[in-house]
Chain A
Amino acid sequence: MSRCVPLTTLVEQVAREQDRALDDVAPIAAARARFERYAVRRARREPWVLAACVAAGALAAGSLLLWYQVRPLGYETERLEVQPVDSANVLRSHASEGAVRFSDGSGLQVGADATVRIESVNAHGAVVRLDHGSLLASVVHTRHSEWTFLAGPFEVEIIGTSFELTWDARDSTLNVSVREGAIRVSGCSVGSRMYAGQRATLRCVAGQPEMNLSAVPPSPSSASESAPPSQPVPSPESRPSRLSASGPRQAPPQPEATDAASAPEPADAGTSSWREHAAAGRMKDAYAAAARDGFEKECGSASARDLLDLADGALLSGRVDHATFALMQTRSKHAGTAAASTAAYKLGRIAFDQRGALGDARAWFQAYLQEAPAGTLAREAAGRLIEIDLKTGNQASAKDRAKDYLQRWPQGPHAQLARKLLEP
């Protein structure tokens, strides 16, 4: 660029000017006096005032809780045609996926060309019927949850939180894939409990059930495509042991006991604690120190921020399995926090960049956007989703995403790709 502005000296001059102007515009003494008043007032808050505030807060919270307990869940739809039929709402998706978001945080991703019927909604869940096509449900599970999914003669009772359903009415075939937790499938004289990682194909032929249950995904590659948004992804080393597991419920993969011994040990890791290294921004050293002390144990006592740091360090050290473990810990131990959402984004990056598992990556990026639609990584997640759609040949969805992207970030890093996609 021949006439580009030399940032080198421009910023210095601007910074100098700013520094000269600051004391006139924002005299520090005035700000200090104001803050001092605040700090002193805060320290002088009488205990009875605090007690009264706590009591009033508790009363308000109680009323609010009661209200929440009886109020039916609300929901909103995206990219779905909504048609009220009797007391139900029929939701139809067309060429691209649609979504339903419930006020308790639960959500449905409705596959392309699918029809879903919200038959009833109460304070603790809903009755959802899949008339045709596929849906991915992520249900926020509580003790009082009452979610029921129906497809043909089958009924799926929610014990866990995340699963995928595909219903083909033509040959009465239901495909179920449980991503997290557990469900109970019944109907057509069949009743079976399924756990995370299991898939089943159920058919109902002349009232007789046919059920084909696979304990685990058949191969590492398909496992990576189907791995759930909130289920640990097995490390390459741990996959054989998963495949040989005999019980239906599989323990989440843990880093192997020998990991600490085989972890890289930078020269300057020394004997400093990993937290000191992390505080100084030396993530690789932080990871090496944590691995030396027992990575799994250290993750157990780490804060959400620490876990993200450890995941960064593990990634920099080439330990995708440990990074995944730390991020999954963030998701499970700090669910609902910003850190958990960040972990979802990072898991998407790992799936996309390290494992080439586009299905996983899509699920993680979508999870991030669902949890933090205005988050600091929303732009990157949205851009990656366009790339994934393109790589998987989902042109229609890519175009939809490209439109949304350009509306929100017309100058973003994926804007050029999005414009190209939308060219006639």
Chain B
Amino acid sequence: MDVDSTGALVRSGAHPRLAVVCSAPAPDRSVEIVRGLLAGQPWAAMEMFDAYALDVRRVLTRMLGVDAELNDLLHDVFVQALEGIERLREPQRLRAWLIGICVHVARGRIRKRRRCWWMILLAGDSELAAATYRVLDRLEPEDRIVLALRVLEGLEMNEVAAACGVSRSTAKRRVAHAQARFRELSEAEPALREWAEGGEA
């Protein structure tokens, strides 16, 4: 984990963005994919899915935790992308655009969860992960999303800003605020406290 110029924590070496590096197509394929999508070609839709589904699933999970409806949300992201492809002006930004859609879908899901308290994370989550997401659940949705994208997913601040549709400085301010809140709220979670005292499991 590194600390950037704003004092924000950023994941580094231990979790490099392997999936991003391995699964992202070369920029020229993004352009081809978008061209195919605009022409209504099913192969382009599937190539987009194959190229980015792992990224999308992972980004959604970072923002939401391991959600029982993850596959539905994944489907929603790609359907929205397919139906709204005319709005993508720069084909080479396909991945960033998809992450923006992820943020939109995740935001809706977080709000739905708040209305429906019985929607909880899967029981398969460890207590540590569950406690982490309990704390995240108590953050404002916008704070939670920037924190997840920046710290859990390790996106660059520019990418976070683009995905959330805010300026870089706003994203930075939100990350700093969200981190402070996370630390404050995590004091009340025994699992996180014990873990902190006992070191990494």
Residues of A within 8 A of B (CB): 1, 3-19, 21-22, 24-28, 30-32, 34-36, 38-40, 42-43, 275, 279, 281, 283, 303, 305-306, 312, 338, 342, 346, 376-377, 379-380, 409, 411-413
Are B200 and A35 in contact, with the CB atoms below 8 A?
A: no
Are A17 and B140 in contact, with the CB atoms below 8 A?
A: no
B79 contacts the other chain (Cβ, under 8 Å)? yes
Specify which of B15, B45, B125, B187 is in contact with A39 (CB 8 Å cutoff).
B45
CA distance A338 to B53 in the complex (A): 27
CA distance A124 to B9 in the complex (A): 54
Specify which of A35, A306, A342 is in contact with B49 (CB 8 Å cutoff).
A35
Are B61 and A9 in contact, with the CB atoms below 8 A?
A: no
In the complex, the number of residue pairs spanning A and B with C-beta atoms less than 8 Å apart equals 164
CA distance A101 to B177 in the complex (A): 33
Are A7 and B182 in contact, with the CB atoms below 8 A?
A: yes
CB distance from A308 to the nearest CB of B (A): 8
Are A26 and B139 in contact, with the CB atoms below 8 A?
A: no
CA distance A16 to B186 in the complex (A): 20
Interfacial residues of chain B within 143-199, with CB under 8 A of chain A in the complex: 151-152, 156, 158-159, 162, 164-168, 170, 173, 177, 179, 181-183, 186-187, 192-193, 195-197
Are A8 and B9 in contact, with the CB atoms below 8 A?
A: yes
Name 7 extra pairs, CB < 8 A, besides A25-B67, A32-B49, A281-B159: A3-B193, A3-B197, A5-B182, A5-B193, A12-B14, A16-B15, A281-B168
Are A312 and B11 in contact, with the CB atoms below 8 A?
A: no
B82 contacts the other chain (Cβ, under 8 Å)? yes
CB distance from B168 to the nearest CB of A (A): 7
With both beta carbons as reference points, the residue of chain A lying nearest to B167 in the complex is identified as A312
Q: Which residues of A contact B125 (CB under 8 A)?
A: 17, 21
Q: With A11-B11, A281-B162 given, is the CB distance from A22 to B66 under 8 Å?
A: yes
Are A4 and B183 in contact, with the CB atoms below 8 A?
A: yes
Specify which of A14, A28, A411 is in contact with B53 (CB 8 Å cutoff).
A28
CA distance A14 to B61 in the complex (A): 11
Are A7 and B179 in contact, with the CB atoms below 8 A?
A: yes
Q: Which residues of A contact B74 (CB under 8 A)?
A: 26, 31
CA distance A379 to B141 in the complex (A): 11
CA distance A28 to B49 in the complex (A): 10
Are B201 and A13 in contact, with the CB atoms below 8 A?
A: yes
CB distance from A373 to the nearest CB of B (A): 14
Among A9, A338, A346, chain B packs the most CB atoms within 10 A around the CB of A9
CA distance A9 to B199 in the complex (A): 9
Are B177 and A43 in contact, with the CB atoms below 8 A?
A: no
Q: Which residues of A contact B41 (CB under 8 A)?
A: 43
Q: With A31-B71, A34-B75, A281-B156 given, is the CB distance from A18 to B165 under 8 Å?
A: no
Specify which of B40, B54, B93, B200 is in contact with A9 (CB 8 Å cutoff).
B200
